[in-house]
A and B are shown apart, each in its own frame.
Chain A
Amino acid sequence: MNLHGIWAIYRFEMARFGRTIWTSLMVPVITTSLYFIVFGSAIGSQMREVSGVPYGAFIVPGLMLLAIFSESILNASLGIYMPKFTGTIYELLSAPLSPLETVLGYVGAATTKSVVIGLVIFATAHLFVDLPIAHPFAMIAYLVLVAATFCMFGFAIGIWAKGFEQLQVIPLLVVTPLTFLGGAFYSVTILPEPWRSITLFNPVVYLINGFRWTFFGTSDVGVGISLAVTAGFFAACLTWIGWIFRTGWRLKS
């Protein structure tokens, strides 16, 4: 195991995040506060409880995942896209690193940043609402799992992308809409049919509900299914990345 190599990539990526640390941390604080001012006060006053949870608290898991999805994809994709773009990837490709080691470095660093941002949102939300957590260990584990999954997804997107525009296409045009439609700010049980059944085809529903269960102990769908969907997506990303390294697709000519 080339531990020095993994550490080198991890440090390099963390240094890259460090250069924009204040923006990176202020954005989630401000956005979360805005959500609470708009949704929590304006809408929340009309809609006091969802599934027995105060509305302000109810939206916190969705808010955290919304940020984690886009941050994970963006940070991890940029991490591998930039060396491709500037040409410095020659060094990575010529280094004695296995695919697993390379992914551990890049995805590990991006996951760290995503988890930190998730926790910043959590802390900010804490200033506005009471947030009891039913299953704290499961909550942290789920947070890390989802962040790592989307960072792997982002890593693969960074290798796939042929331009900066393509880096943004998936998070902005696919993931964020699916998150809004996937019950980040409402319970899918309030939807009328057929929208309710259609919504259940959206995988993000399961991710959000699984995470919500770790907070409140209740969920629109079974926790087992949530975990299975998350694990399935994790496995799919892992397979994709494994295939990329085996074939050298868009990495080596």
Chain B
Amino acid sequence: MANDPILSIRGVSKTYANGPTALEAVDLDIQRGEIFALLGPNGAGKTTLISIVCGIVVPSTGSITVDGHDALNDYKQARRRVGLVPQELSTDAFESVLATVTFSRRLFGRSGHSAYIEELLRDLSLWDKRHAKIMTLSGGMKRRVLIAKALAHEPDLLFLDEPSAGVDVALRRDMWKLVHRLRDRGVTIILTTHYIEEAEEMADRVGVIAKGKLLLVDDKAALMKKLGKRELDLTLVEPMTAIPAELEEWAPTLENEGHTLRYVFDATGERTGIPSFLRRMQELGIAFKDLETSKSSLEDIFVGLVEEKR
């Protein structure tokens, strides 16, 4: 059981009644305990996908299971396990912080009296404000309240929809600390973002979504490695037909009919290998008249992917 995905999405599509096709045949498995980032531009369908899993939006087709429970037929079991921090700051006005968080815990079927709530409010620096009416709080504090509400029933799977939208540095820091603490406790976290840095910073795996389609899903490390690659292109004075054995260590390739010598290096690595490569070239007397590096950062790939699908 432990190796079963905690969330399994199969062939989920959504066409809004009077609107566009927001999702097209999305398949996705989320593993237990991972932090997954759903990365995509505005309007990509991230919120729609999350809303379907949580039961807020009805899918046009497809099926979803949470921890093996069908999200439609066995919705009570499925929903108990899920917590959602929505994108919008939708809160009650007149309720106190403690009352609204206790409300959430009960709503999801748990007894309201719990030391867990105190711990949660302390973790989110809300304990001192527990008797304050929500409407008297700042935007950042309201966001903390929404996080506390989502975690109130101790979910196994937490959705954070655009968690850093309109969030100050302190909250961002607290939030990431909390996310890592939750992960240590075995909570699975799915966050959506249109910031690449956020996906990079937080996630174990990243899924790129655009125009309602899930374009690729990969381990962040693998993705970053792929995306962190840079190319050094040397335009040679004399074209080459073969790579000299002395350069094999750097595994360069010949491009442009031997006019360009290309060396691929890892910009995120400790050593790029460029100085030694150039020194060896000089020792071998290989002259070049131009030098150019190009990057293929996540950003470029991301933009490329998104444009390609237009």
Contact = CB atoms under 8 A, between A and B. Distances in A.
Contacts of B76: 2, 96-98
Interface centre among A16, A86, A96 (most CB of B within 10 A): A96
B16 A253 contact: yes
B128 interface: no
Contacts of B111: 4
A91 B104 contact: yes
Contact of B91 (A2, A88, A248, A252): A88
A87 interface: yes
A88 B90 contact: yes
Nearest to A82: B92
B17 A91 contact: no
B136 to A, nearest CB: 15
B83 to A, nearest CB: 9
Q: Is the interface of A mostly helix, strand, loop or mixed?
A: helix
B84 A94 contact: yes
Given A90-B86, A98-B76, A5 B56 contact: no
Interface stretch (A6-14, A24-32, A127-135, A189-197): A6-14
A106 to B, nearest CB: 12
A90 B56 contact: yes
Contacts of B108: 4-5, 95-96
Contact of A91 (B16, B93, B107): B107
A8 B90 contact: no
B54 interface: yes
B149 interface: yes
A94 B82 contact: yes
- Tier of interface size on chain A: 20 to 34
Interface in B56-105: 56-58, 75-80, 82, 84, 86, 88, 90-95, 99, 102-105
Interface string A210-242: 000000000000000000000000000000000
Contacts of A4: 105-112
Interface residues of B, number: 37
B43 interface: no
A93 interface: yes
A8 B54 CA distance: 20
Interface centre among B17, B55, B80, B149 (most CB of A within 10 A): B55
Interface in B105-163: 105-112, 149
A34 interface: no
A2 B153 CA distance: 13
A92 interface: yes
B90 A253 contact: no
Nearest to A10: B106
A96 B80 contact: yes
A66 B55 CA distance: 39
A15 interface: yes
Given A87-B88, A88-B92, A5 B106 contact: yes
Contacts of A94: 54-56, 79, 82, 84
A248 B109 contact: no
A248 B106 contact: no
B90 A87 contact: yes
B220 to A, nearest CB: 28
Q: Which 8 residue pairs are nearest across A and B when measured between Cβ atoms?
A: A87-B90, A8-B106, A94-B54, A96-B76, A96-B79, A4-B106, A8-B107, A95-B107
Given A4-B112, A94-B82, 4 more contacts: A5-B109, A90-B51, A96-B77, A253-B16
16 contacts: A2-B109, A4-B111, A5-B107, A9-B107, A86-B90, A87-B86, A87-B88, A90-B51, A96-B75, A96-B77, A96-B109, A97-B76, A97-B107, A252-B56, A252-B57, A253-B58
